[in-house]
Amino acid sequence: MRSVCRPVALLLSGLMVLLGACHSDKGGKQYPDARDRGTIHISADESFKPVIDAEVEVYESQQPDAHIVVHYKPEAECLKDFANDSIRMIIATRGYSTGEEYYMIDSMKVSPSKMTVARDAIAVIVSPQSADSFFTMPELKQILMGKFSKKLIPVFDGVKATSTVRFIVDSILKSDSLSPNSVAARTSEGVIDYVAENPDAIGFIGVSWIGNKDDTAQMNFLRKVKIVRLESTNKPGGFVLPYQINISTKTYPMVRDLVYTLKEKDYKGLGTAFGEFMAGEIGQLIFKRAYLAPAQRSFYIRKVRVTN
pLDDT single digits (tens) 219-235: 777 788 999 999 999 98
* Confidence check: pLDDT of 259 > 70: yes
How far apart CA 304 and CA 245 sit, in angstroms, is 16
C-alpha distances out from residue 288 to 61, 89, 231, 232, Å: 19, 22, 23, 22
pLDDT of 298 strictly over 80: no
Q: What is the pLDDT of residue 162?
A: 87
Tell me the percentage of the chain whose pLDDT exceeds 90.
66
The CATH superfamily of 32-119+257-294 is: Periplasmic binding protein-like II (3.40.190.10)
Instruction: Domain 120-256: give its CATH superfamily.
Output: Periplasmic binding protein-like II (3.40.190.10)
Q: How far is CA 250 from the centre of its chain?
A: 18
**pLDDT value at position 307?**
60
**H or E segment at 288?**
helix 281-289
Strands 153-156 and 183-184: parallel
Domain(s) labelled CATH 3.40.190.10 in the chain stretch across: 32-119+257-294, 120-256
The answer to whether residue 7 scores a pLDDT higher than 50 is: no
Name the phi and psi angles at 110, rounded to 5. Answer: -120, 135
Closest C-alpha to 289, from 40, 46, 57, 35: 57
pLDDT digits (tens, 9 = 90+) for 30-88: 568 999 999 999 999 998 999 999 999 999 999 999 999 999 999 999 999 999 989 99
Orientation angle between helical segments 281-289 and 270-279, nearest 10 degrees: 60
